[in-house]
Amino acid sequence: MTKSELIAELAAANPHLLGRDVELIVQTIFSEISAALARGDRVELRGFGAFTVKKRDARTGRNPRTGEMVAVDEKVVPFFKAGKELRERVNGGVEPGED
């Protein structure tokens, strides 16, 4: 499913809303999560999951094609950890690791 399909479905399920408002709602959700991560904040949506940023130290990498050494600067990467409920739903209703 893509963002535009999500918007289309949401619009169909909410005929009282304008299409452009539905689009704005979906855009707002993901852009606010992005903005929070850009500030270094954490986004916690119980049952769904949590978005955070993780710091990665500077390292010396290699160009895989040429084998040349390249300096990779310190950076932060976005990270998502699924919440318990979603983790179970994705795994057919059981917590991964349980019998």
Binding site for another protein (CB under 8 A): 1-4, 6, 9-10, 13-14, 17, 21, 24-26, 28-30, 32-34, 36-38, 40-46, 48-49, 53, 75-80, 82, 86-87, 89-92, 96-97, 99
- Residue 1 CB, shortest distance to another protein, in Å, is 5
For tokens 């855009």, what's the residue? 27
Distance, CA of 72 to CA of 49 (rounded, Å): 30
Q: CB–CB of 33/43 below 8 Å?
A: yes
- Shortest spacing between CB 57 and another protein, in angstroms: 14
Supply φ then ψ for residue 63, to 5 degrees. -70, 115
